[in-house]
Structure 1
Amino acid sequence: MARLYCRWRRVVLCVCTLFTSLVLLFLYVGILVTMGMVDTTTSGTDRDHFIAPGASRNNGYAPCSQTFWQNNQHGNAFWNNLQLVVDYRFNPIMSLHNSSRSCNKRTFYESVRRQSFSKVKGMLNSDELPEMLKDFVSSMHRRDYSTLIQPNGVCGAGATDEKEAPLLLLAIKSTELNFKNRQAIRKTWGQAGWVSGQSSKGEEGGGYVRRIFLLGRENYDDLGGNPLELLQRESELYGDILQWDFLDTFFNLTLKDVLLWKWFSRYCSRTRFVFKGDDDVFVNTVKMITYLQDQLNEPQADKEMKNFMVGYVIGGASPKRNNRSKYFIPESFYRGLYPAYASGGGVIYSGQLTKRLHKISERVHLFPIDDTYVGMCMIRLNTFPVHHSAFLIFDFAGNQEDEDCSYHKILVVHKRSPSEIIETWAQLKTRTQCWDAPLR
């Protein structure tokens, strides 16, 4: 019995010794593996975050992005830094104590824009700028100009017995001396009142159209006379002149947008759409009325109208750096690409969007290129214009103008002289076989 007990005792000791050895071996291997996984470049201090392999070049954190939230990414570009101050002020995250609700908003916006000028003072050497851009910079803080001539109607020239809200306001940029252009438009595509259309389903339709011409004033010293008296007589006759007291230059065209939005918000709040264009474009108004009515009949049209803008859209454009171009913008003034924008030669947007553009423009510094400025306002509304091939801002391509019904398939074409506008309108009205031609 004692001999059997000793034998089992030796067996148990052997098994336990073997098991203990295996446990110690596993522990040893585990410790070696763990030590091998530790980054030898780290210090002995404990870390409270995970370090991904290959990402510990800056004290254990992943490499910082070179562009995200980068300070001074626009260098010394004057407009970018000027606008950055305003954008920062209205950013709800960056500026928690926004006091815009505690005072008159208009006064508050003016104050913020004025403060931004003081913060970037000395960044731009205006002596190095071209004369036209230098003049713009000297007055870009101003946007509240008095009116010299107001239209007779509340919202431009139109029918006196409108049975419903106007469908379309034709807002046309012109100059004091372009009387022939205005007359050609009044006789043709710019006729105010009821304009008949035809829906895509063959149903008769139409809408009330109003008309307004947007003008600044000429440099009377250069003209050797003052055409204001003639313009006032023109206004009394047609009731469609809206003129402000600023110098009518290429870089001041942006003021016509900003002041139009303000005027529209006050006098034209019931108007559904605005066509804004130059006085040297041809417009197929009948097709435009039809197109706009179709948009209003689309599902969720009320929701879509909030952001509705359509035209010839240009995206990813670079500023012109050639100082011989009238669009020349030096890098010291603006850096980067332009946002997507609809060419200002002819563009349509909803009345709702017009009012929104008026409000957001208070937060955007004036820019010398008008259609680019509209794109800058649009991107701050988090929306973009829609491209439509019926807007021929750069004219017909090749021999397309000679094709059958070519003008019945477009909404806008640029550019045309007064005589060409009158001739084309006559052909448009008489070629009945083309009336049902679809848009491009």
Structure 2
Amino acid sequence: MQWRRRHCCTHAAKLLYLLSFLGLLIFLVHQVWLPQLIGLPWWRGHPVVFGGEKLESTKVKSNVSSKRSTWHFVILPRPTFNVDTNSSHEKIGLSSLQEQSALDSLTANGTQTEPQEFMLDGPFDYIINEQNKCSEGTLAPFLVLLIATEARQVEARNAIRQTWGNESVAPALGFIRLFLLGKNEGELGFVQQKMLESESRRHQDIIQQNFLDSYKNLTVKTMMGINWVAKYCPHAAYVMKTDSDMFVNTEYLIQKLLRPDLAQKKNYFTGNNMRGFAPNRNKNSKWYMSPESYPGNKYPTFCSGTGYVFSGDLAKKIYRVSLNIRYLHLEDVYVGICLAQLGIEPTPPPNEFLFNHWRVSYSSCKYSHLITSHGFHPNELLKYWHHLQSNKHNACINALKERMSRTHSKRVH
């Protein structure tokens, strides 16, 4: 009997030791290793905002009432404008004289100048522009789509023009589609540019500036689009920024989320909210953020760049505040920092599955009640869009009938 008691106690001690070890391992993985490798939420640290003259702590209050509606920031000295470079070529495809002129338009005597009421085109010249899309006398658009793309993605642009980016989705409301591009170099870039200019003349939905079109310049591309809205379409009700490999249910976005029958929202920003994420310090990662670029342990709340929506009044505000914030290559994080500097926290969508930065398995029922799904080939986009259009009214009823029929069939067999 005593042997059994000692045996049980030994097993209990081993079990407790094992549980303690597992608990410590889980803590280290979740709180230490994963934040360094893939940017999972961290339990301490403050976001960083660039723009102050000295290192100090401050508070920025959001317009959202919650326990987390007050953010603490570390304000760092304002750095210089910086974007992706070509190691063996001139910066961004601009001559040094052009670039210096662009930078001089943003700075004076080493400090950022306060923008005037009129908006500049930014630090880079337009190669292709559509400044008359929102000219006086035309209907102020209810929605402007800003779609980040590359010159080679011709099929994707054509698929979007035929599906969720087609202006027939909301003809009475005013609907504008714009593809955002930079410039490529070399002989291939020259050929692509000629084709792009021809495409632009045919569809009149492309804007392009003279910066190197690369992943690290996605922030520059996005800010070009936001600046375009601020300067050329300031009365737009809403703006959506998304990518060319996305499925976007624009009809559901307009009719169910933005609601044209309601008063236009102000200071409104929503999407797939990414709260409490830490910078990825893994140098092999696509999303790597160096401590020199962003010293903080946590990002402010931002929305996934695969698709976010904001009220038109924010375009000018975001662009203005961006002139005092160092450019980071992670576009969605950068826009989140701009919002934090403005004291605006992204609004959570009414349903957490509306905006998806991953691919959702297709069914007409699910897709009739979401706004974004990621990772679509142009052929898939055409196929699923047309299927949804022909099934959207009874999509969930038909799905329920099919499920009930399958259940009944299983019971019979």
* TM-score of the superposed pair, with normalisation by structure 2: 0.65
> Given the alignment of the two structures, is residue 154 of structure 1 paired with residue 133 of structure 2, yes or no?
yes
Match of 1:384 among 330, 345, 359: 345
Contact 2:128 2:206 in 1 (8 A): yes
Secondary structure of the equivalent of 1:372? helix
Q: Give the deviation of 1:432 after TM superposition.
A: 4.3
Secondary structure of the equivalent of 1:254? helix
Tell me the distance in 2 between the aligned counterparts of 1:171 and 1:384.
21
| 1:175 paired residue number | 150
* TM-score of the superposed pair, with normalisation by structure 1: 0.61
Tell me the distance in 1 between the aligned counterparts of 2:382 and 2:346.
30
| 1:276 paired residue number | 241
Q: Give the deviation of 1:310 after TM superposition.
A: 1.1
User: In the alignment, residue 346 of structure 1 is paired with which amino acid?
Assistant: G
Structure with higher Rg: it is 1
Match of 2:382 among 404, 416, 422: 422
Tell me the distance in 2 between the aligned counterparts of 1:272 and 1:340.
23
Instruction: Identify unmatched segments of 5+ residues in structure 1.
Output: 1-72, 94-112, 119-125, 197-205
Contact 1:151 1:235 in 2 (8 A): no
Match of 2:176 among 210, 227, 242: 210
Contact 1:152 1:240 in 2 (8 A): no
Q: Give the deviation of 1:211 after TM superposition.
A: 0.8
Could you say what the CA RMSD is over the residues aligned between the two structures, in angstroms?
A: 3.6
| 1:219 paired residue number | 185
Contact 1:151 1:242 in 2 (8 A): yes
| 1:103 paired residue number | none
Contact 2:78 2:325 in 1 (8 A): no
Contact 1:155 1:264 in 2 (8 A): no
- Are the structure 2 counterparts of residues 434 and 374 from structure 1 closer, same or farther at C-alpha, using a change threshold of 3 Å? farther
Query: Equivalent pairs: percent with the same residue?
Result: 28
Contact 2:184 2:190 in 1 (8 A): no
Q: Give the deviation of 1:307 after TM superposition.
A: 1.4
- Size of the alignment, in residue pairs? 302
Q: Give the deviation of 1:434 after TM superposition.
A: 3.3
| 1:356 paired residue number | 317
Q: Deviations over 1:197-218 (max 9, x none)?
A: xxxxxxxxx6221111000011
- Are the structure 2 counterparts of residues 333 and 90 from structure 1 closer, same or farther at C-alpha, using a change threshold of 3 Å? closer
- Are the structure 2 counterparts of residues 434 and 341 from structure 1 closer, same or farther at C-alpha, using a change threshold of 3 Å? farther
Q: Deviations over 1:372-427 (max 9, x none)?
A: 0000000011111123321111122xxx634x511101111112110111011101
User: In the alignment, residue 149 of structure 2 is paired with which amino acid?
Assistant: S
Tell me the distance in 2 between the aligned counterparts of 1:165 and 1:366.
31
Q: Deviations over 1:180-228 (max 9, x none)?
A: 11000001110125617xxxxxxxxx6221111000011325x375311
Tell me the distance in 1 between the aligned counterparts of 2:313 and 2:137.
24
Contact 2:219 2:329 in 1 (8 A): yes
Contact 1:167 1:271 in 2 (8 A): yes
Match of 1:145 among 100, 124, 148: 124
| 2:224 paired residue number | 259
> Given the alignment of the two structures, is residue 309 of structure 1 paired with residue 274 of structure 2, yes or no?
no
Tell me the distance in 2 between the aligned counterparts of 1:161 and 1:435.
40
Secondary structure of the equivalent of 2:310? strand
Instruction: Identify unmatched segments of 5+ residues in structure 2.
Output: 1-44, 59-75, 104-121, 398-413
- Are the structure 2 counterparts of residues 434 and 151 from structure 1 closer, same or farther at C-alpha, using a change threshold of 3 Å? farther
